[in-house]
Amino acid sequence: MTRKSISRRVYRAILAVSVISMIAMVVTVMLVNEDLESTMLEVEFAQERDFILMNHTGDDVLLWDSPNLAVVFVPTGKPRPAVLPRVFRGLPDNYSEETELDGETYLITIRTVDTGLLYVAKNITHFENRESLFQLALVLIALVIIALSLILAVLSSRRIVRPLTLLSERISRIPVGTHMPRMETDYVDAELNSIATTFNRFLDELESYVRREQSLLSLASHELRTPIAVMSGALEILELRDQLNANDQATLMRIRRACDEMKDNVDILLKLARREPDTEIREIFDVSATVQRVIDDLAVSHHAAERVTLDTRARLEVKSDPTMVRMLLRNLIQNAIQHTKGDIRVTISAGIIEIEDQGTGLNPTQQAILRGEKVIAADGLTLSGLGLYIVTLMAERLGWGLDIAQTDSIGTRIRLTPVQRSY
């Protein structure tokens, strides 16, 4: 899922508000300016019209044509002049519009009044030029406002998000364990102070949980190791008596191997659960021989020899914990045996171990676990056997790569990338 930045969202919100406000301001100013200009021209035009009608009382046609004003008054009953000023030519009666003529703008009104027909054309080019300059100035102001809004949005978003970033950094520096330092609650903002206080209460509960888990692990360690020690001692007594025939001795050896493996598995699981530091002695060994031993062990309990095939294409030596590697491989192969019915192939090539089955593929929850997302089964139930989650923990502890190379309706291929031996 794509994560969204709070800083970017705040930045966009501030910028959007600023731009919308600026657009509203510009539109309002332009409308008000247009209305004022129209009102002023109408008032001025009405004054000139009234002045003409008051001062012209004769019965003759009045004709006045100048660069800034053109006037024609035709008294009632008189014929129109044969030649009207150019600005009036071709226009109908009762006309009122702005007209462009030779690069000049005229406000023309042709109206029928009580005493005749009045033509008035006023040159308003200077008004239009001023309006253009005003609009240009308004555009420049809008650009300046947008630039200031960008700067304000960037600074404001950083200032708003910075306390959250600092809080996140403080949380990330807290180590997980039985004694975790508490968050400082010296925030001025009430919301951040509430978050820090709530997180400290969470740490109190987490510490209590960790202590309970450690106590349980200590008890489990004793309870699990004691029966194993008793079984090992009983096996030693049987071996010392030397009263078993060859078949019984072979069976005894299998029991001894299973008991030793159980002891190693318990030690590894407890080590993983306790997050103990990696202090075991690593050995250099051949992975192919380890895989073959796992297959031989599973042949007795799961008939692995009939279904599992080892394909060694290149010699692969690693320096690692052989017990944990054997446990990791055993769980992956055993999981494939238990959940599929077809053949299983283990391929060892240069730097890669692949375990391929012919099952129905992994479900989304199992895929999430193997990808290292640490997701437990959605139904809350434990996974079969030691579980895929334990497999990811062992791979992580060994420093090995664990990937899903393929999973679909025709099978699954799990790929391990070991840390190879350094020469």
Distance CA 76, CA 117 (A): 7
Is residue 305 located within the same domain as residue 362? yes
Q: How confident is the model at residue 380 (pLDDT cuts 50, 70, 90)?
A: very low
- Taking 50 as the threshold, does the pLDDT of residue 278 lie above it? yes
Q: Which percentage of the chain shows pLDDT scores above 70?
A: 88
pLDDT tens across 212-251, in order? 777 776 777 777 788 888 888 888 888 888 888 888 888 8
- Please name which of 338, 353, 341, 351 lies closest in space to residue 291, comparing C-alpha atoms: 353
- Please name which of 209, 187, 210 lies closest in space to residue 197, comparing C-alpha atoms: 187
Is residue 376 located within the same domain as residue 259? no
Is residue 55 located within the same domain as residue 129? yes
- pLDDT at residue number 382: 46
Residue at a domain's end among 148, 168, 200: 148
pLDDT tens across 21-32, in order? 888 888 888 888
Structural domain includes residue 263: yes
- pLDDT at residue number 421: 56
pLDDT tens across 152-176, in order? 888 887 887 788 888 888 888 887 7
Structural domain includes residue 177: no
Is residue 85 located within the same domain as residue 39? yes
Structural domain includes residue 344: yes
Structural domain includes residue 46: yes
Mean pLDDT for 361-380 is 69
- pLDDT at residue number 177: 66
Is residue 220 located within the same domain as residue 335? no
- pLDDT at residue number 286: 92
Is residue 372 located within the same domain as residue 393? yes
Structural domain includes residue 422: no
Residue at a domain's end among 90, 117, 148: 148
Least confident of 81-90, 96-105, 294-303: 294-303
To the nearest whole number, what is the mean pLDDT of the chain?
A: 81
Distance CA 355, CA 417 (A): 12
- pLDDT at residue number 311: 93
Is residue 329 located within the same domain as residue 236? no
Is residue 71 located within the same domain as residue 140? yes
- pLDDT at residue number 313: 93
Is residue 243 located within the same domain as residue 350? no
Is residue 196 located within the same domain as residue 259? yes
Classify residue 294 by burial, with Cβ atoms within 10 Å: 0-12, 13-18, 19+.
buried
Structural domain includes residue 178: no
pLDDT tens across 178-195, in order? 678 888 887 777 888 888
Residue at a domain's end among 148, 182, 213: 148
Could you tell me the CATH number of the domain that includes residue 383?
Answer: 3.30.565.10
- Taking 70 as the threshold, does the pLDDT of residue 301 lie above it? no
Mean pLDDT for 257-262 is 80
Is residue 258 located within the same domain as residue 287? no
Q: What is the total count of domains within the chain? A: 3
Structural domain includes residue 163: no
Could you tell me the CATH number of the domain that includes residue 222?
Answer: 1.10.287
- Taking 60 as the threshold, does the pLDDT of residue 383 lie above it? no
- pLDDT at residue number 95: 85
Q: Which domain holds residue 390?
A: 279-417
Mean pLDDT for 328-341 is 87
Is residue 143 located within the same domain as residue 11? yes
Secondary structure of the chain in HEC code, one letter for each residue? CCCCCHHHHHHHHHHHHHHHHHHHHHHHHHHHHHHHHHHHHHHHHHHHHHHHHHHCCCCCCEEEECCCEEEEEEECCCCCCCCCCHHHCCCCCCEEEEEEECCEEEEEEEEEECCEEEEEEEECHHHHHHHHHHHHHHHHHHHHHHHHHHHHHHHHHHHHHHHHHHHHHHHHCCCCCCCCCCCCCCCCCHHHHHHHHHHHHHHHHHHHHHHHHHHHHHHHHHHHHHHHHHHHHHHHHHHHHCCCCHHHHHHHHHHHHHHHHHHHHHHHHHHHHHCCCCCCCCEEEEHHHHHHHHHHHHHHHHCHHHHEEEEECCCCEEEECHHHHHHHHHHHHHHHHHHCCCCEEEEEECCEEEEECCCCCCCHHHHHHHCCCCCCCCCCCCCCCCHHHHHHHHHHHHCCEEEEEEEECCEEEEEEECCECCC
Q: How confident is the model at residue 423 (pLDDT cuts 50, 70, 90)?
A: very low
